[in-house]
Amino acid sequence: DMAILTQSVVPLEMTQAEVFQAVQDDALLNASFWANIALAGLSIILFVYMGRNIQNQRAQLIWVATLLVPLVSISSYTGLASGLTISFLEMPAGHAIAGEEALTMWGRYLTWALSTPMILIALGLLAGSNVTKIFTAVTGTTAMCVTGLAAALTTSSHMMRWFWFFISCMFFLQVLYVLLVQWPKDAEVAGTAGIFNTLKLLTAVTWFGYPVIWALGLEGVAVLDVAVTSWGYSVLDILAKYIFAYLLLSYVKANESAIAGMADGLGAADSAN
Ligand code: RET
């Protein structure tokens, strides 16, 4: 009885220094954070340089939204590496590791609520979309991330964790509808369909990986261990953020006049919808 009591209570009392030490002790996990801190830092420098001569207001807005992605990312990963945004949470009955503590990187879900809207704002502006559709995509992704955070932090009931996960997936569908059904039509009218469709595909495929990793990882059915789960997210982040942003900014830099000329046709596909 004492052993059970100790096991369930003591780790929940971990100090931030102890969480930091647990991260330090897992070299593979720690590397998944620092690889992204380094790449986000390099991306920030590169993107500031790439955007230095952009004059058009819409092109500048795309650039600012895109630059915010690695800026949020470096903060997010610093939160994880320092132990600030990681907690050990005891999983409820029915969970694969019921009664044990799962290392929960809740800072990831929190900061996605800030970074994913920037990705979608940049994509919506590139497609020549209107405020309504951009608003729909941004509110959808914010709700997806916050309900995903709720899924990860729920310790009362195994069923309620998956119910939050289901709600989050419904918000993901809201985002996918705008991204895959509405914006391609706008981009066609705006004349940016080529680059938009490339980024749309990269976004749809990589974003789909996040709920898969959540479901397979320690917080879901616990098939993947914590370091593999974390590397899964880190690799997806590299593709969905830095590679995505580089492709977008390269286009904006080389085609500023096309983006400037597109402002007139803003939301022109609406009459067809
Ligand atoms: C969660 C779990 C609940 C169900 C769903 C999820 C989707 C997450 C996604 C995250 C994308 C993050 C990106 C971050 C870049 O900064 C929250 C994992 C649907 C799609 C692109």
**How large is the ipTM?**
0.99
Q: Is 169 in the pocket of ligand 1 (CB under 6 A)?
A: yes
Give me ligand 1 centre to Cα 210, in Å: 5
Atom of ligand 1 nearest to the CA of 213: 18
Decide whether any atom of ligand 1 lies within 6 Å of the 112 Cβ.
yes
What is the mean pLDDT for each group of 10 consecutive residues in the chain (273 residues)? 50 84 96 98 98 94 98 98 97 96 97 98 97 98 98 97 98 98 97 97 98 97 97 98 98 94 59 46
* Six token digits for residue 21: 């030490």
Architecture of the structural domain at 2-261: Up-down Bundle (1.20)
**Tokens describing residue 201:** 């595909």
Atom 6 of ligand 1 has which residue's CA nearest to it?
Answer: 211
Give the pLDDT score at 163: 98
**Residue 4's pLDDT is what?**
52
| DSSP letter assigned to residue 272 | G
125: Cβ–Cβ under 8 A, 6 or more apart, which residues?
58, 61, 62, 65, 134
pLDDT at 272: 46
CA atoms of 45 and 15, how far apart (whole Å): 35
**C-alpha distances out from residue 194 to 122, 190, 198, Å:** 15, 11, 7
Return the residue whose CA atom lies nearest to atom 5 of ligand 1: 211
Is residue 164 lining ligand 1, measured as CB closer than 6 Å?
no
Element (H, E) at 253: helix 244-254
What is the predicted pLDDT for the residue at 261? 86
Neighbour count for residue 108 (Cβ, 10 Å) = 25
Element (H, E) at 28: helix 27-50
- Quote the strand ranges of 91-230, DSSP E: 101-104
Determine if ligand 1 sits within 6 Å of the CB of residue 36: no
Nearest ligand 1 atom, CA 145: 17
Question: Residue 82 and residue 30: Cα distance in Å, rounded?
Answer: 10
Q: Is residue 70 in contact with ligand 1, taking CB distance under 6 Å?
A: no
d(CA 146, CA 172): 12
Q: How far apart are CA 176 and CA 78, in angstroms?
A: 29
Is 196 touching ligand 1 by the criterion CB < 6 Å?
no
Whole-number Å distance between alpha carbons of 169 and 175:
10
Cβ neighbours of 126 (radius 10 Å): 27
Q: Determine contact, residues 82/60, Cβ cutoff 8 Å.
A: no
In angstroms, what is the span from residue 161 Cα to ligand 1's centroid?
15
Show me where the domains of the chain are located.
Answer: 2-261
217: Cβ below 6 Å to ligand 1?
Answer: no
| 3-class secondary structure, 181 | helix
How many H helices and E strands in the chain? Answer: 12, 2
Cα–Cα distance measured from residue 193 to residue 242, given in angstroms and rounded to the nearest whole number:
21
Atom of ligand 1 nearest to the CA of 76: 16
> Is the CB–ligand 1 distance for residue 172 below 6 Å?
yes
- List beta partners, residue 90: 101
Which pTM does this prediction carry?
Answer: 0.93
pLDDT at 105: 97
118 phi and psi, to 5 degrees?
-65, -40
